[in-house]
Every structure is written in C-alpha cells, then in structure tokens.
Amino acid sequence: MTDHLVDAHAPRDLRAFIAALPKAELHVHHVGSASPRIVSELAARHPDSRVPADPEALSDYFTFTDFAHFVEVYLSVVDLIRTPEDVRLLTYEVGRELARQQVRYAELTVTPYSSTRRGIDERAFMDAIEDARKAAEAEFGTVLRWCFDIPGEAGLTAAEETTRLATDDRLRPEGLVSFGLGGPEIGVPRPQFKPYFDRALAAGLHSVPHAGETTGPETVWDALTHLRAERIGHGTSSARDPKLLAHLAEHRIPLEVCPTSNIATRAVRTLDEHPLKEFVRAGVPVTVNSDDPPMFGTDLNNEYAVAARLLDLDERGLAELAKNAVEASFLDEAGKARIKAEIDAYTSSWLAA
Ligand SMILES: O=C(O)c1cccc(C(=O)CC[C@H]2O[C@@H](n3cnc4c(=O)[nH]cnc43)[C@H](O)[C@@H]2O)c1
Ligand SMILES: [Zn+2]
C-alpha cells in the first residue's frame, strides 16, 4: 500500500483489532484490485502498454487529477488483461488479498464488456473467473460473488452486451448475484439504463448501481426510481438532500461508502469533510468498502481505520460496522448468521483478553 492515503491516526491496537476482524466487502472492482505486483507483471508481459512495469512508479501513475483521469488510467490497466489466463490470475490474486485481510465474503464488481470487447472469448472469460472463485474459496476460505456492471460511458451497446452476458443461462456464471452501473456519471443519465436493469432483475439479479459519486442527489433518486437500486454505490451526494437521507433510512437502502476512493478521485476534498457521519446520524445503513484499493493506496482494513476515526468507533462499533456489511450483502440468511457469529465471538475474545 502506498503511504499517502493511509490513515495513520488509528491507535495501533485498534488497527490490530481491525486486521483480524472477520469482514465482508461489498464494493470492490475486479481490475481496480490488481496489486502493484500483478500490474507490473502484466505490464512487463505487454511492453507496448504505457502502464509502468516498475511497482515503485505505480504510486505516481495512480495519482489522479479528477474522476475522468481516474477512468483513463483504469482503462490502461484494463488493457493489460488480454488472455483468459490473465483474468484467472488477477481474480485468484484478488481472492488471496481479500483472505489476507480476513474478508470472509466479497461481492466483486466485474466489467465483462471491457474484456469481451477487447477480444477475450466470453465463455473463456466466465470460466476463468469461476475457476478462480472456486479455487479462492477452497484454498483461502473467502467466498466470492460477482456483480456485473455496465460501464456507463460506453453507452447502450455496453448495456446490451452486459445484460446479455448476465442473463443468458448458457453463459451466466454461478457466482453472479447482482447487476451494476459504473464509470462517469456526468453526461450519463441513469434512466436510459432502466430496460437493462429490468431484464437483469427479472433474471433474479440484485440492483446495485453507482450513483451520487460525482453528481448530485438527483442521480441517487434516479437510481432508486428507475433502476430499483437495493444498495447504492457511494451515494456520497445524498448528504445534500435531507429527504433522500430519510428515504434511504426508512427503506433500509444501504450506502456502499468508500472514503479514500472519494478523496483519490477528488469527489470529496478531505476525509474530514466526508459525509459518512451525516449518513449514520440520519439512520442510513452504511457499509465501508475499498473500491479500487491499490489504485487508491488503501485496503479494506485502512477504510475501517478511517471509519473508526470519522465515526469515533471503538471495537464494538467496528464490529457493528462489519455486521452492517454482512447484513447488506446478498448472502443467504445462514451465511449471514455464520459470519455475524464469528464477528461476535472474535470481538468478545478480543475484549476479554
Ligand atoms: O471498457 C471500455 O471499453 C470502456 C469504454 C468507455 C467507458 C468505459 C468506462 O466507463 C469504464 C469505467 C470503469 O470504471 C470502473 N470503476 C472502478 N471504480 C469505479 C468507481 O469508483 N466509480 C465508477 N466506476 C468505477 C467501472 O466498473 C467501469 O469498469 C469503458
Ligand atoms: Zn466503484
């Protein structure tokens, strides 16, 4: 992890508590989770890319001037993933990294369109992620599930292709649980994606679009109204609309908050100005997530440390935050109960020690 965004304020023992706390991660992108080691390995394999092969140079490369710059850099990393074996390696390594952080369950946002349009065979792509998912669960004990997202800026062709890949019974992977919408929001109105979300929801998927990350609360309303969002990716600007906060609280719509991401893409100026506390005060269910961890110089443990500082949480508060994510997940009830019991047992034994 690069140092510039690490929250160094959390006391050392709280960091130790977080490090071993069983957790769920609900908002983390597949390509955005490529570690510096994997990025440099892929960059060395594909020297025609402008992504630096030297891991030391990646910290500068991953410093963003704004959201548009972030997407440009993100797509240069997407360009490094050229074969089903690249896809499998990346997915398996993401599983390993999540397990290292004691993540028991993760919903990983995958953008299949970005890979299939670059020539990766769709069947081979699905087999690669599924093979890595099963290996990660067997070898590391971390359960992975997929959210397939439409890269919004790529338009309705991308929406059609993503919906087809998510709903065709011959292709749709076993681990797929939800349907999302990512990329820039400015100039990409949410309502145009309604027919695609309708088809995905009819096929049994959950709706989890990004909204209110780089635009105002009206985008969150659109995601709720037109895309029938069950959780909101980011939802940062919801804080500017008290009626929206009340709606999210009343209907128990969780926000997938990613504090360091919002600083790195300059959606929020400083962590101290982040609206996380306002969400909690308004009674909105919040989960804390890492988004694109190596690109933002963070990881899930660091996001919990950031949340502990912003919300003034002790061990019990952090355990509740971890249980929020389990509760907001698309795991079955037995799976949720198992992880929540593990969080409680861990917290009790930590506090008794
Ligand atoms: O793949 C393409 O060819 C392509 C063409 C045009 C536009 C796009 C995109 O919009 C890709 C955006 C990409 O960004 C991912 N992502 C990662 N983190 C975030 C985030 O915090 N907020 C929004 N999007 C994010 C997203 O999953 C898309 O894959 C692609
Ligand atoms: Zn995201």
Q: What pLDDT score was predicted for residue 55?
A: 87
Q: Is the CB of 215 under 6 A from ligand 1?
A: no
Indicate if ligand 1 lies below 6 Å from the C-beta of 289.
Answer: no
> Does position 15 have pLDDT exceeding 60, yes or no?
yes
**Tens digits of per-residue pLDDT, 315-343?**
999 999 999 999 999 999 999 999 999 99
Which ligand sits closest to the CA of 232? 2
pTM of the model: 0.96
pLDDT score of 205:
98
In which band, very low, low, confident or very high, does the pLDDT at 7 lie, cut at 50, 70 and 90?
A: low
Does the beta carbon of 260 sit less than 6 angstroms from any atom of ligand 1?
no
Which tens digits make up the pLDDT trace of 102-154? 999 999 999 999 999 999 999 999 999 999 999 999 999 999 999 999 999 99
Tell me the percentage of the chain whose pLDDT exceeds 70.
Answer: 97
Nearest CA to ligand 1 atom 27: 182
Reported confidence tier of residue 8, pLDDT bands at 50, 70, 90: low
Closest-approaching ligand to the CA atom of 296: 1
Distance, CA 336 to ligand 1 centroid (Å)?
30
Cα(16) to centroid of ligand 1, in Å? 33
| Arithmetic mean of pLDDT over the chain | 95
The ipTM value here is: 0.98
Reported confidence tier of residue 1, pLDDT bands at 50, 70, 90: very low
The yes-or-no answer on residue 230 being catalytic is no
Q: Is 32 in the pocket of ligand 1 (CB under 6 A)?
A: yes
Instruction: Choose, from 25, 161, 213, 256, the residue flagged as catalytic.
Output: 213
Distance 28 CA to ligand 2 centre (A): 6
Q: How many CB atoms lie within 10 A of CB 54?
A: 11
* Separation of CA 61 and ligand 1 centre (Å): 17
The residue type of 287 is T
Buried b (16+ CB within 10 A) or exposed e, 111-127: bbbbbbeeebebeebbe
pLDDT in tens, 158-169: 999 999 999 999
Q: Which residues have a Cβ under 8 Å from the Cβ of 211 and sit 6 or more positions away?
A: 181, 185, 190, 219, 220, 222, 223, 229, 232, 233, 234, 235
CB of 27 closer than 6 angstroms to any ligand 1 atom: no
Mean pLDDT confidence for 74-100: 96
Structure tokens at 15: 């960091």
**Ligand 1, closest atom to CA 234?**
21
Mind listing the pLDDT tens digit for each residue in 176-185?
999 999 999 9
% of the chain residues with pLDDT over 90:
93
- Distance in Å, CA 350 to ligand 2 centroid: 32
pLDDT tens sequence across 222-251:
999 999 999 999 999 999 999 999 999 999
pLDDT tens string 277-316? 999 999 999 999 999 999 999 999 999 999 999 999 999 9
Q: Ligand 1 in contact with 290 (CB < 6 A)?
A: no
Closest Cα to atom 9, ligand 1: which residue? 151
Show Cβ contacts of residue 82 under 8 Å, excluding neighbours closer than 6 positions. Answer: 46, 118, 119, 120
The tens digit of pLDDT for each residue in 254-281 reads 999 999 999 999 999 999 999 999 999 9
Probe target for ligand 1 pocket from 29, 108, 234, with the most ligand atoms within 8 Å of CB: 29
Instruction: Grade residue 2 by pLDDT with cuts at 50, 70 and 90.
Output: very low
C-beta of 71 in contact with ligand 1 (< 6 A): yes
Query: From CA 117, how far away is CA 113, in angstroms rounded?
Result: 6
Per residue in 181-216, pLDDT (tens digit) is 999 999 999 999 999 999 999 999 999 999 999 999
pLDDT score for 10? 67
Give the number of whichever ligand sits closest to the CA of residue 181.
1
What value does the mean pLDDT take over residues 58-66? 93
Return the ligand number nearest the Cα of 114: 1
pLDDT at 12 (0 to 100): 72
CA of 107 to the centre of ligand 2 (A): 12
Helix ranges restricted to H, the chain: 12-20, 36-45, 55-61, 67-78, 84-100, 112-116, 122-140, 155-167, 194-202, 217-225, 242-250, 259-264, 276-281, 300-311, 315-328, 333-352
